[in-house]
Structure 1
Amino acid sequence: MSVTIRPRRDEDLPALAAALVRVHAQDGYPVEGVADPEGWLRHDRELQSWTAVEDGLPIGQVALIRAVPEDDAARAWREHSHGDIDRLAIPARLFVDPGHRGTGAGQLLMEAVFGFARARGLAIAFDVMLKDQAAIRLYERLGAVRIADLTHHYGDGLNEPAAVYVAAS
């Protein structure tokens, strides 16, 4: 079977939500939990989102969102590059169903993000929890460079060590 990437459709949401629940159970991602998985899949600053599909089944997704000054990744990127945040996009909501890992879906999803952003002249920065070592390996394999370490604050006083990466130009 081969994985294909396409823009996410509303009809993908139930299968992606179920996959996200499995991801959270296995990996603790997202750290904020999955009380409303379909709601979490959408982002109010979304520029575009993509679905990885294998044998007709949605198995993963990623979204690309507009950066705002309050984003951890945007702050680190601005300190590092002195760039204009209006020209920055942030990949978010990336995951692949645990039963479909090793198919190349994560790489294909990130390549879709990188291609979309480059075609529009957007820089890319994003944060990742240090516990998510498979994601870090993927990002580094794709040429992303770590520019900062930080602490992600969430929930009721909870913290998670994280890093900020930028995509290679």
Structure 2
Amino acid sequence: MIHIRQAGPGDAVALDEMVRELAAHEGDLEHVLVDAEAWRQLLARPDVRVLIAEDDAGVVGFTSTVRRIHLWTGGDLLALDDLYVRPGHRDKGIGSQLMTAVASLAAEDDLLVQWGVRLNNHAGQRFYARLGATLNTKMTASWTPAQYRRHLAAAR
């Protein structure tokens, strides 16, 4: 039996572990800068909503979302940052249950939900399509402080 609930400060260590598991799986572990203490602070923010999936043995997955402004509509949207289910617990409907909980959060204020999925994550794309999500191809760009500082220096 899986129970979905909102994360609290007592979940900071488990969230830190799962974020690191996810980042390692994606080859991005060096980019994780938060730790359990930072998670405690993030969970206190009203715009951050993290949902935990747990069974009798403990925490098995999570979703992290941030409510932010959507400039085109002048309203807010719910940005899904991560959906993660631990190995050994996948293919049991937990991801779907977590996404249903995200939908319930968004439905409270009729918010658009947006998230990214890697182009090579075909299983993830099929999963989201089964949920009824619209999949649009769009590349994501990022600019690290070191990169934009080089740009600034060159522009001077």
Q: Tell me the TM-score range normalised by the shorter chain.
A: 0.7 to 0.9
Specify the alignment match of 1:10 in structure 2: 9
Q: 2:127 aligns with which of 119, 133, 138?
A: 138
Q: Give the greater-gyration-radius structure (CA).
A: 2
Q: Match for 1:11: what amino acid? A: G
Runs of 4+ aligned structure 1 residues displaced above 6 Å come to none
Cα separation, 2, equivalents of 1:109 and 1:146: 19
1:120 aligns with 2:121: no
Specify the alignment match of 1:160 in structure 2: none
Q: In angstroms, what is the RMSD of aligned CA positions?
A: 2.8
Cα separation, 1, equivalents of 2:108 and 2:8: 22
Partner SS for 2:25: helix
Cα separation, 1, equivalents of 2:62 and 2:52: 4
Specify the alignment match of 2:23 in structure 1: 24
- Do the aligned partners of 1:20 and 1:37 also contact (CA within 8 Å) in 2? no
Higher RCO, 1 vs 2 (CA within 8 Å, ≥6 residues apart)? 1
Cα separation, 1, equivalents of 2:94 and 2:140: 28
- Do the aligned partners of 2:68 and 2:77 also contact (CA within 8 Å) in 1? yes
Decide whether aligned partners of structure 1 residues 14 and 144 sit closer, same or farther in structure 2, where only a CA change above 3 A counts. Answer: same
Specify the alignment match of 2:153 in structure 1: none
The one-character-per-residue Cα deviations of 1:103-156 (angstroms, maximum 9, x if unpaired) are 222111111111121132212222222233333222111100023412332546
- Do the aligned partners of 1:64 and 1:89 also contact (CA within 8 Å) in 2? yes
Normalising by structure 1, report the TM-score.
Answer: 0.68
Partner SS for 1:98: coil
Identity of paired residues, percent? 27
Q: Which structure carries more strand by proportion?
A: 1
Cα separation, 2, equivalents of 1:3 and 1:86: 33
Specify the alignment match of 1:34 in structure 2: 32
Q: Match for 1:25: what amino acid? A: A
Partner SS for 1:99: coil
Specify the alignment match of 1:98 in structure 2: 87
Runs of 5+ in structure 1 lacking a partner?
79-83, 158-169
The one-character-per-residue Cα deviations of 1:57-109 (angstroms, maximum 9, x if unpaired) are 1122112322235xxxx7xxx4xxxxx14142212232122232222221111
